[in-house]
């Protein structure tokens, strides 16, 4: 950025963009205006302004916020529904009955409660994880979704096999519990991401959309921030926001009252 020793009495700052600003500082003389800056041809080409190359689209932040909120609501809804459907599976689990010393009434067909409700929980609460694991597998970069999908799929297939071969112990209650916990965890994660994204959106709204660029003849022109290039000299007036990253080249430090 550049503080204004440009001769302006208003104390405005001049901000120089990009790494090429360092070469200009060495040639600057305290009383010669913009010597070593501006139009001497020493500044190199266009460089990236960190955090501003997409600045012309504040709507993108809103889109991301809406996407996170949609995922949050999806996980929240599926968590509550899956948890409610998991209760019969837990109650009719023989392992839990033995551990906690309780029993539930049985009736004709009650042996199908666990497999039927577990299938419903897997189809409603578990399939989203399978869907989100597909892009990871296509990109050959397995991640969390792939790991979760493997865990619930193995438990699901094995438990269904125990229906055909009842001499084995099923994992129906473990399956629904795992799905419920994963849904809860991702709901909390999406809520945290949405809140963080909202904070970033509010900060992005404070960024100016235009900047006052100083031309070679010393005059200023108002341009979109996205049009700034490395080596541009920008006028930052008192109280104004800095439009892009840069180095202070010239300026007047306000005096402090004693």
Tokens 């597998």, located at residue: 137
Do both 72 and 104 map to the same domain?
Answer: yes
Do both 228 and 244 map to the same domain?
Answer: yes
From 236, 208, 235, select the one nearest 52 (Cα to Cα).
208
**pLDDT for position 44:** 36
Global pTM reads 0.57
Do both 112 and 164 map to the same domain?
Answer: yes
- 232 falls within a domain: yes
Do both 235 and 145 map to the same domain?
Answer: no
Quote the CA–CA distance of 194 and 27 in Å, as a whole number: 47
What would the two tokens of residue 192 be? 């945290």
Per the CB < 8 A criterion, the answer to whether 183 and 78 are in contact is: yes
Do both 225 and 144 map to the same domain?
Answer: no
Do both 24 and 51 map to the same domain?
Answer: yes
- 255 falls within a domain: no
Residues of the chain with pLDDT under 70: 1-68, 253-258
**pLDDT for position 13:** 59
- 241 falls within a domain: yes
In sign, the C-alpha dihedral spanning 216, 222, 227, 233 is positive
- 140 falls within a domain: yes
**pLDDT for position 150:** 96
Residue ranges making up the domain that contains 48: 13-55+210-250
| DSSP per residue, 176-236 | HHHHHHHHHHHHHHHHHHHHHHHHHHHHHHTS-SEEEEE-TTS-EEEEEGGG--TT-EEEE
- Count of domains in the chain? 2
Do both 87 and 187 map to the same domain?
Answer: yes
Do both 88 and 131 map to the same domain?
Answer: yes
**pLDDT for position 188:** 94
- 258 falls within a domain: no
pLDDT tens track for 81-119 = 999 999 999 999 988 999 999 999 989 999 999 999 999
In sign, the C-alpha dihedral spanning 174, 178, 181, 183 is negative
What would the two tokens of residue 124 be? 């409603």
Do both 72 and 198 map to the same domain?
Answer: yes
- 183 falls within a domain: yes
Q: At which of 204, 222, 240 does a domain end?
A: 204
Mean pLDDT taken over the chain: 76
Do both 141 and 44 map to the same domain?
Answer: no
Do both 173 and 229 map to the same domain?
Answer: no
């Amino acid at each position: 950025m550049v503080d204004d020793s440009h001769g302006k009495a208003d104390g405005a700052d001049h901000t120089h963009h990009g790494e090429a600003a360092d070469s200009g500082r060495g040639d600057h003389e305290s009383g010669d205006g913009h010597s070593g800056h501006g139009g001497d041809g020493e500044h190199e080409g266009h460089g990236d302004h960190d955090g501003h190359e997409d600045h012309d689209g504040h709507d993108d932040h809103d889109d991301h916020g809406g996407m996170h909120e949609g995922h949050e609501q999806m996980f929240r809804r599926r968590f509550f529904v899956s948890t409610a459907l998991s209760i019969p599976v837990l109650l009719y689990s023989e392992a839990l009955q033995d551990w906690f010393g309780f029993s539930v009434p049985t009736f004709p067909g009650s042996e199908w409660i666990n497999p039927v409700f577990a299938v419903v929980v897997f189809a409603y609460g578990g399939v989203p994880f399978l869907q989100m694991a597909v892009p990871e597998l296509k990109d050959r970069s397995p991640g969390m979704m792939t790991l979760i999908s493997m865990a619930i799929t193995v438990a699901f297939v094995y438990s269904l096999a125990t229906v055909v071969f009842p001499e084995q112990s099923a994992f129906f209650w473990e399956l629904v519990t795992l799905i419920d916990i994963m849904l809860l965890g991702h709901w909390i994660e999406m809520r945290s991401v949405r809140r963080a994204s909202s904070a970033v959106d509010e900060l992005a709204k404070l960024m100016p959309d235009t900047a006052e660029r100083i031309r070679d003849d010393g005059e200023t022109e108002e341009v979109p921030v996205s049009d700034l290039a490395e080596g541009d000299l920008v006028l930052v007036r008192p109280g104004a926001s800095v439009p892009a990253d840069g180095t202070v080249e010239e300026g007047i430090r306000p005096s402090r009252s004693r």
